[in-house]
Structure 1
Amino acid sequence: MERLSLRYQWALLLITSLLLGSVLQVFHVPAALLLGPMIVGVVMGLSGAQIRISKRLFVLCQAVLGCMIAQSLSPSILQPLLADWPIVLSVLLLTLAASGLSGYLLVRFSDLPGPTGAWGSSPGGASAMVAMAGDFGADTRLVAFMQYLRVLFVAAAAAIVARISLGDSAQSSGLEWFPHLGWGFAATLAVIVLGAVLGQKFRIPSGALLLPALIGATLHSSGTVTLQVPEWLLALAYALIGWTVGLRFTRPVFLLALRTLPQMVVSIIGLMLLCGAMAWMLTRVLHVDMLTAYLATSPGGLDTVAIIAAGSRVDLAFVMAMQTLRLFSILLTGPAMARFLSRYARR
């Protein structure tokens, strides 16, 4: 792969991603336009591809997702969360406990340093975890590998669960790819750019996604602006996010992580099973379906879970509320957990 020019690498990435994404869509796989590019990116990254997605493009893509989420958000989302706050709080605490247990066992039975194991196993926004890890003595390369490896596992598992739950209705076949766009589209672009800029300027974790979602939801639910996020723009954002995740799986980092890769995989699968058990418990006490509960508790990145939820006809507002609450909980407790694992989890 290194022998190919950057132009040919880009051409190969585009063509194979389009082909694989189209095949997955034919079989009604949820988030096919995310999973296809992500899989191709992983293969090319491990093959030595040198192309990378600009961080600015990745940030803008997160803002596009924020506006897509904003169309499903309204003040009424707070009512079920507040009404069932003991259950919501219990799920958050159990998630933190599952994350801590996963990180403890990973550090205990591998050669990973405590901070690296703690931040790598934290089920929050992957990009936010990587950004914060270096400030607490963690190896950011291994943290990034662990975080995006978990995103890959979670995205594949969530797509399979959605496909089994919804059958051929998992992916809508009546999408209008190029709708008529009015001034609402211009307003949506303004929200995207404003949210992305402010999120980066104030260094808000996952702010490029959360700020456009909040700003857009305020405008959209109040009737001030009707947001327009066409399918072609979402497909482009999905592909760029998939490539960003996939191309991070470079050969040097993979070789660095190879010694502890089995422990990483077991840790990820264990955390996914624990979160799946919490999802089942959630369906017993709340009026939510299993797929909604699974995505709400799924330990993946905020952006990838949003993409899968949007293509799976679930309660997107509930999913994003739970994921956002967990993200901020992880950010608040992450430093203390890293110190705890560094002190007590080493053999």
Structure 2
Amino acid sequence: MCDFPDRSRPKTLNPGSLLLNVSRYSRPRQWGLLLLLSAVLAFVFLSVHLPGALMLGPMVAAIVFGVSRSNIRVHRLPFGFSQGIVGCMVAQALTPSVLYAFWQRGLLFVSLVVAIIVFNCALGWLLSRSKIFPGTTAVWGLLPGAASSMVIMAEAYGADVRLVAFIQYLRVVMVGFLASGVAHFSLHHALPGKEFLWFPRFSPLELGETIAIVLAGMGIGSLFRIPGGMLLIPLIAGSVMQAAGMISIVLPGWLLAGAYLCIGWMVGLRFQRDVLLSVARLIPRTIVVLLVVIGFCGFLGFLLNRFLGVDPLTAYLATSPGGVDAVAIIAAAANVKIGFVMAMQLSRMMMVVLVGPVFSKWVANRVPATGV
């Protein structure tokens, strides 16, 4: 007697089975395909004049590979080097006049950053208390920055570490695309902030000095475990040494493009299929909550524009809730006051690193036990 398949019972469909599985390819082939897809998407974004295209294209490509079970990862050393390159890029824009303006408006920056931190922690506490997110996950996930510190502290409090990391990196992706979109459709985007030259003439000595600053930042930041040190140290050292006339920072386009590519891959590959499946039911509410956070920061940008006369695009990018490297890349490609943008972004980053974890811990301790 022949056995025939039982067609009376419907087959159970696994949503994950519908996605491509690229892990069957060798790692060199995965890197090659990722590079190809990144180049195609970057070209598409460049063709529509999307600011930050050289980062956003690779980021989208990496997300595609991440959800397709890719087992490749960006090593921390090239990522740290890329952050240092972005730090030097920002240092080029931090002229003495910009630093003086930052000193004059320091109280304003601190006030805005405190408002952002308080709002995010209060929102996290409310979401945790209302059980919209499990335990204290929202408290750690919504702080705008210091992602690695938040993940470590969240684990100590028994929060869902995967969800905390997902919220943190989804914020970076959403801010990156929304900021780029705003810049694209802004009336200011027609005049680029700086021409992007792939192969400019430069002094090999000056390029060597720039790379030496980046490598020194990597070494010091890693040795002393300074949060964000691989970006901050080259930024501070580069701006001080450039202002003193000791060096001239040189960043050819091909070097910047490589740094943008690496940062885009680092963020995108965080979106692994197993993580997305484990938090699938929370994705819609996470997007809504992050839009609320971005909207609040946009409101602060509106206040900057309304009462201080800061142009809308500069104000929006300045108050965007991270990541610093992504906003820096987008600001460099748009017609904005990048010094003002980065002064505000760095104020946020340093405040979040210094007081954010302590404040989040204080809030998490006040989440009722029934919400855990």
TM-score (structure 2 length as normaliser): 0.87
Q: Determine if the alignment matches structure 1 residue 32 to structure 2 residue 50.
A: no
Aligned sequence identity (%):
40
Q: Report the CA distance between 1:113 and its aligned residue.
A: 2.1
Name the SS for the 1:169 alignment partner: coil
Unaligned runs of 5+ in 1: none
Name the SS for the 2:275 alignment partner: helix
**1:304 aligned partner, one-letter code:** A
**1:207 aligned partner, one-letter code:** G
Name the CA shift for 1:132/1:219 in 2 (closer, same or farther; >3 Å).
farther
User: Is this contact kept in 2: 1:136–1:335, CA < 8 A?
Assistant: no
Mean Cα deviation higher: 237-246 or 77-86: 77-86
Residue aligning to 1:245: 267
Residue aligning to 2:10: none
Which residue, 267, 271, 277 being the options, matches 2:299? 277
Residue aligning to 1:206: 228
Q: Determine if the alignment matches structure 1 residue 298 to structure 2 residue 317.
A: no
Q: Report the CA distance between 1:171 and its aligned residue.
A: 4.8
Alpha-carbon distance between aligned partners in 2 of 1:176 and 1:205, rounded to the nearest angstrom: 31
Alpha-carbon distance between aligned partners in 1 of 2:55 and 2:149, rounded to the nearest angstrom: 20
Residue aligning to 1:96: 117
User: Is this contact kept in 1: 2:66–2:269, CA < 8 A?
Assistant: yes
Name the SS for the 1:314 alignment partner: coil
Q: Determine if the alignment matches structure 1 residue 22 to structure 2 residue 22.
A: no
Which residue, 39, 44, 59 being the options, matches 2:80? 59
Residue aligning to 1:256: 278
Q: Determine if the alignment matches structure 1 residue 227 to structure 2 residue 249.
A: yes
Name the CA shift for 1:157/1:340 in 2 (closer, same or farther; >3 Å).
same
Alpha-carbon distance between aligned partners in 1 of 2:290 and 2:43, rounded to the nearest angstrom: 29
Alpha-carbon distance between aligned partners in 2 of 1:216 and 1:177, rounded to the nearest angstrom: 22
Residue aligning to 2:29: 8
User: Is this contact kept in 2: 1:106–1:264, CA < 8 A?
Assistant: no
Alpha-carbon distance between aligned partners in 1 of 2:176 and 2:91, rounded to the nearest angstrom: 22
Structure with greater contact order relative to length (CA < 8 Å, sep ≥ 6): 1
Pairing 1:1-347 to 2, within 5 Å after superposition? 1-107=22-128, 108-114=130-136, 116-127=137-148, 129-130=150-151, 133-134=154-155, 137-166=158-187, 169=190, 171=192, 174-182=195-203, 183-331=205-353, 332-344=355-367, 347=371
Alpha-carbon distance between aligned partners in 1 of 2:152 and 2:329, rounded to the nearest angstrom: 22
Q: Report the CA distance between 1:143 and its aligned residue.
A: 1.9
Mean Cα deviation higher: 259-268 or 274-283: 259-268
Unaligned runs of 5+ in 2: 1-21
Q: Report the CA distance between 1:138 and its aligned residue.
A: 4.2
Alpha-carbon distance between aligned partners in 1 of 2:228 and 2:220, rounded to the nearest angstrom: 11
Name the SS for the 1:343 alignment partner: coil
Deviations 1:91-131 (A, max 9, x none): 122211221133123323424221x3222101124455445
Mean Cα deviation higher: 196-205 or 236-245: 196-205
Q: Report the CA distance between 1:82 and its aligned residue.
A: 3.6
Q: Report the CA distance between 1:272 and its aligned residue.
A: 0.4
TM-score (structure 1 length as normaliser): 0.93
Alpha-carbon distance between aligned partners in 1 of 2:224 and 2:88, rounded to the nearest angstrom: 19
Mean Cα deviation higher: 119-128 or 54-63: 119-128
Q: Report the CA distance between 1:196 and its aligned residue.
A: 1.2
Name the CA shift for 1:168/1:99 in 2 (closer, same or farther; >3 Å).
closer
Q: Report the CA distance between 1:322 and its aligned residue.
A: 1.0
Mean Cα deviation higher: 130-139 or 254-263: 130-139
**1:151 aligned partner, one-letter code:** V
User: Is this contact kept in 1: 2:172–2:323, CA < 8 A?
Assistant: yes
Deviations 1:200-246 (A, max 9, x none): 11111111000000111111111111110111101000011101100
**1:341 aligned partner, one-letter code:** A
Of structures 1 and 2, the larger Rg is shown by: 2
Mean Cα deviation higher: 3-12 or 25-34: 3-12
Q: Report the CA distance between 1:314 and its aligned residue.
A: 1.3
User: Is this contact kept in 2: 1:125–1:301, CA < 8 A?
Assistant: no
Name the CA shift for 1:181/1:239 in 2 (closer, same or farther; >3 Å).
same
Mean Cα deviation higher: 119-128 or 58-67: 119-128
Alpha-carbon distance between aligned partners in 2 of 1:213 and 1:250, rounded to the nearest angstrom: 31
Name the CA shift for 1:81/1:218 in 2 (closer, same or farther; >3 Å).
closer
Mean Cα deviation higher: 202-211 or 328-337: 328-337
Name the CA shift for 1:173/1:22 in 2 (closer, same or farther; >3 Å).
farther
